[in-house]
Amino acid sequence: MKVAFFSTKSYDITSFEKHSNDAHEFIFYESSLNTKTAKLTQDCDAVCAFVNDHLHERTIKLLAKYGVKLIAMRCAGFNNVDIKAAQAANIKVVRVPAYSPMAVAEHASALILTLNRKTHKAYNRVREGNFSLERLTGFDLYEKTVGVVGTGKIGQYFIKIMKGYGCNVIAYDLYPSDAVKALGVSYVSMDELLEKSDIISLHCPLTEDTHHLIGKEAFSKMKKGAMLINTSRGALIDTVEAVEALKNKTLEYFGIDVYEQEEKLFFRDLSENIIMDDVISRLISFPNVLITSHQGFLTHEALDKIAEVTIKNLTDFENGIKSDNEVIID
């Protein structure tokens, strides 16, 4: 199969070429997939896309026109794909439902530890010869209440990490897991989770129902001085309201690896540019905010798994084998 890859970086090329075994012909493009770049898929059987590619109805119609029969997402999420439009165009959509839940869960815990113990600030101080401990005081994670929203594979591994620190973990999910209950975790309502949690970590998908799940109303119910962590999808949080929550000190700590408007910022070097996004510029100005640019998935193990599963998805499609990783909406 001839496959056009979009939004690719050096680590994508390295991992896919490592696992390809010349089974398919790969063409790598750094540009994102949208209506303007869809023409690059001419004579391709499939496209391989990522989280910020625009696979809306117009793009999908163009892909169908150029002969594309498969959209292979090299990630778990597919909120940026119009699945109904793809089905109407007879284009199948596959994804990588689980590549390394440990990678994302561990990154969430790293955000918590860094924000709490201010190791990023200590690192910069020491490099400048400043060995003062002033304003570096944190808190014990032990016996703090951690609220986990979404208890899929990533959420479950995150829960195990937090239980290892001796935290009291509560959870919210529309579909409670017996495996999570077996870990001694209680499922509660969203309101109760907001009211009781010292730390809230989001591990749920982005859907119409979860868009701005944490907004003005949620912040008003949140425990004063809480920490909020998001390693899932940026639009789970109304970022403008998060700024207000930081200003009124409802939020004492805010750590994000995803951002609602990240597609114009993340995965590129803008160090010599003026950042035109006023909201993220405001967030960066807060001393109690930590932002990483969607790197939670970025481990050697996760990249290997993404490549392996994506290539298997391509091969299964080519061989007419029905894949468990196909996304279907009734």
List the catalytic residues.
233, 262, 294
Helix (H, G, I), strand (E, B) or coil at 311: helix
User: How far lies 322's CA from each of 82, 94, 95, 97, 315, in Å?
Assistant: 21, 10, 13, 15, 11
Nearby residues of 123 by Cβ (< 8 Å), 6 or more positions away: none
Residues facing residue 49 across a β-bridge: 73
**Residue type at 11 in one-letter notation:** Y
**Residue type at 112 in one-letter notation:** I
Cα separation, 323 vs 150, in Å, equals: 25
Cα separation, 280 vs 240, in Å, equals: 9
Supply φ then ψ for residue 171, to 5 degrees: -145, 155
Please choose, from the candidates 245, 240, 244, the residue with its C-alpha nearest in 3D space to the C-alpha of residue 200.
Answer: 245
User: How far lies 195's CA from each of 43, 64, 82, 140, 215, in Å?
Assistant: 55, 48, 36, 20, 14
12-16 long-range CB contacts below 8 Å, 24 or more apart?
12/74, 12/303, 14/303, 15/303, 15/304, 15/306, 15/307, 16/307, 16/310, 16/311
CB contact at 8 A, 239 and 283: yes
